[in-house]
Amino acid sequence: MEKQSIVLDLDGVIANIALSLDDHITHTGYPDFVDYTDWLISDSSDEEAMKIFNNPLFWKNMKPYEDAWHQINYWFEMDIDVHIVTARRCPASIEQTQPWLDYWRLSTSPPVFTNIHEKHEVIKNLNPRFVVEDNPTEVEILLSEGVNAFLRKQWYNKKYWSKLPTIDTLYDLDWN
């Protein structure tokens, strides 16, 4: 019998990148309002974003969502492979990923790094029971290829909540 697997995106699904961006922007004197939606769901090369994303401390200090920590370790105990497929692309973000996972004791397979909108190529080969993403375009691509995918609700993807299968939390996913 083939071992069951799931795929999770890292930022916005496991790691609370929006909170980290809010904290960073608040503490570094950015303008009162910065709409960083594109930083999170597109292949943005915004100069300010690159400054933040090239800072190792930004990634090291990020916190996981509580439900992600619990669910990932629960699935691991159930002998389910949890794969992370992420579009992190800056050297600092890639360098900090595995140490961050180890620090938070998240039991996953080693993360796979890919380009944004190319995740489906890796994910199809993993044959997961489901995928959870915060990027609506990634969910649309996966669904079009017959992969069971969910959008994790975030303020920056709200306009897609009624268009795509969504979850509020990883606790919403029933394994049975």
**Which pLDDT tens digit goes with each residue over 131-176?**
999 999 999 999 999 999 999 999 889 999 999 999 999 999 976 6
pLDDT in tens, 98-142: 999 999 999 999 999 998 889 999 999 999 999 999 999 999 999
Domain interval for residue 99: 5-16+60-172
- The pTM assigned to this predicted structure is 0.89
CA distance 174 to 176: 6
The burial of 115, by beta-carbon neighbours within 10 Å (0-12 exposed, 13-18 middle, 19 or more buried), is given as exposed
The answer as to whether 27 is a domain residue is no
Q: Provide the domain count of the chain.
A: 1
The CATH number assigned to the domain holding 87 equals 3.40.50.1000
